[in-house]
Each structure stands twice: as C-alpha cells, then as structure tokens.
Amino acid sequence: MSDSRTELSQLGEFGLIARIKSKFENINSSTLEGIGDDAALIDAGEKTFLVSTDMLLEGIHFDLSYMPLQHLGYKAVAVNVSDIAAMNGTAEQIVLSLAISNRFSLEAVDSLFEGIHAACKNYNVDLVGGDTSSSAAGLVISITVLGRAPKEKIVKRSGAKANDILCVTGDLGAAYMGLQVLEREKQVFLSNPDMQPDLEKYEYLVGRQLKPEARMDIIHELRDKNCLPTAMIDISDGLASELFHLGKNSNLGVKIFEDKVPIDHDTFETAIEFKLDPITCALHGGEDYELLFTINPADYEKIKNHPDIHFIGHMHNDATQHVLVTKQETIVPLQAQGWNHF
C-alpha cells in the first residue's frame, strides 16, 4: 500500500467528480445520462425522469448568523429546482434529508419548513418523503429533486454548435456582493454588538444571496416562443466556470464580450465600494442561479426583445480558446475561478 497522499484541493470539486465518474459505468438501459450534467436522465417511456440532488451544510454553504431559517428552507428547494430547469424540465417532487442538533427548537424547525413549504408551493413541487437524523456539528439539508420532460425537449450541456449564440438570464454578481455585505455587517456586529446591521441600501443584493429564485419562468417563456436551447446550465459556481462546462461538454470554445455581461447598477456600485472589479464579481461570484444557454442563430428573432435575456457571445470551433473581449477590445483568456469546495 502506497504511503503517498493526494490532497483533495489538488483535484478540486470538478476533478473529484470526474474521477468518481471514471470509476463507474451505467449497466441499466434505463439510465440515459449519469454523472456530468445538471441532472441525471432516467428513461420513463414517453417522458424522461430528471433526478438531481444538492446538500447544504452549516458553516460551508450558509451562516445562520445572518441566514433566516425561512429563507434557508426556500433556498434549499430553489437551488434544486434550478437544476431541473437547466435541463429544460419541470420539477415535480422533492425528497428531503435533514440532520439537526438539539440546539434547534421545534419553533426553529417550523420556520425552516415554512420556507420549504413556500418554495414547494411556488414551484408546484410536492415533498414526498425523506429522512431525519441528529447532528453533532450543525445543520445539514440534503434535497433530491425529481422532474420530467419530453425526450425530444431535454437540453444537455453538450448540445451546442459552433456559432450558437450564448445567452444569460437576469443579472450576475448580485448574490456574491450580497454575501460580501452580509459578511461585513457580521464582522461589524462581532466587534460591536450595539451596532445594528445597515442593509437597507443593499436590499436587492442581500435578497439575491438569501432567497434566490429558480428561473422556471424563462423555461416556460422559451417553450411559449418555440425556442429550444441547444445547451444549457444554471449559474451556481460563477459564469466563467459554467462557460467552461458548456465548452468542454460541447467540445467547443466560447467567446463573450464584457460590455454584454449583465450587471445590475447596485452590484456595480457595491463592487466599487468594496474595491472589487464588477466584471470579476459577475464572472466568478456564483450563486446567482440564472440560466446560461445557447441558441441556434435562427432562433434569435424569437427572443431578441425579451427584457431578461441577454446575448453575451457565441460558441466557436477552437475548444482550447475560452476568451473575454474587454470594453477596450482586448482579448483575454477566461479562467474558471468560481467556488472551490476543497
């Protein structure tokens, strides 16, 4: 047995996932797509089952000193529904596993489930089961989401073609800047408990961090306009990381333009206040849960006037080149510097 030790940080999250995937092969014909996309695809006759899971850990993914339990419950559901949206599917059920310590009261647990219930109602999702356990080290929430979509309407990360237009919904970087505001106010409070948090100016940013929304509205609108994306992913780890995923899975390069990346005014101004580059926040911040997708240029006319869809670049044939064209028209390589769990 070798004495050598490899640190997980050397692989990173995506490297670890790739390593796990390499050790398994699908043996059931009903498994249409396994590890490697926003959701697994399971054959279910005329439609395809979509299955995804996300785990939220106290101290890693959330801080209860500023995350209300109702918002946490809502967010836990929303981020799972977002994975189903990214496959162009509709979420229908969730299964919830909860590990909780005795420092939480029944009233606190009720607050958590108020948020879960509100999200289930908003996204038309049923809570159909799960598991509960005690925890010696904080709160852990794990949700598995089940959804469906017609086989011919499934959108993977791997379907983009050269010259397809890159589209993104909403605006980017707001959730990251909301986190910076919350962390700053926490430090102010810890140094002087008599100081009250000053969040009114940052309401939009804080809301994007504490209570994100899955963009099922966009999925429904694209269907109404008969516009089927060629590839799609949700933006959880930052725009740059997700662009790399689309490029790698579709074996293509990406080219985006800085002046086309949507950044809200509040995000821009707050980034400057924190002495951060706004475009860096948009590229690498994460947790926006907007949708990044590609469309055939022939479909551009169908959605060109949509107020919440932005056209930021295109795919190209050189799979080794993922680049950003700056406002000064300088071409710089993109780097995937989003959240690294290890």
Task: List pLDDT tens digits, range 169-197.
Answer: 999 999 999 999 999 999 988 888 777 77
User: Mean pLDDT throughout 98-112?
Assistant: 95
pLDDT at site 342: 47
Average pLDDT, the chain: 93
Strand ranges (DSSP E) for the chain?
Answer: 31-33, 40-44, 47-57, 90-100, 126-134, 140-150, 165-169, 231-234, 253-257, 291-295, 309-316, 322-325, 331-333
pLDDT digit string, tens, across residues 38-54: 899 999 888 899 999 99
User: Mean pLDDT throughout 97-122?
Assistant: 96
Whether 15 has a pLDDT exceeding 80, the answer reads no
74 bridge partner residues? none
* 3-state secondary structure (DSSP) of residue 231: strand
54 bridge partner residues? 143
**Contact 332/204 with Cβ under 8 angstroms?**
no
Left, alpha or beta for 16 (phi > 0: left; psi -120 to 50: alpha)? alpha
Whether 339 has a pLDDT exceeding 60, the answer reads no
pLDDT at site 11: 72
pLDDT digit string, tens, across residues 128-148: 999 999 998 789 999 999 999
* pLDDT band for position 338 (cuts 50, 70, 90): low
Nearest 5 degrees, angle CA 266-CA 269-CA 271? 105
Whose CA is closest to 246, among 313, 176, 309, 330? 313
Domains of the chain, first to last: 8-153 (3.30.1330.10), 165-333 (3.90.650.10)
Q: Which of 23-32, 109-118, 331-340 has the lowest mean pLDDT?
A: 331-340
129 bridge partner residues? 95
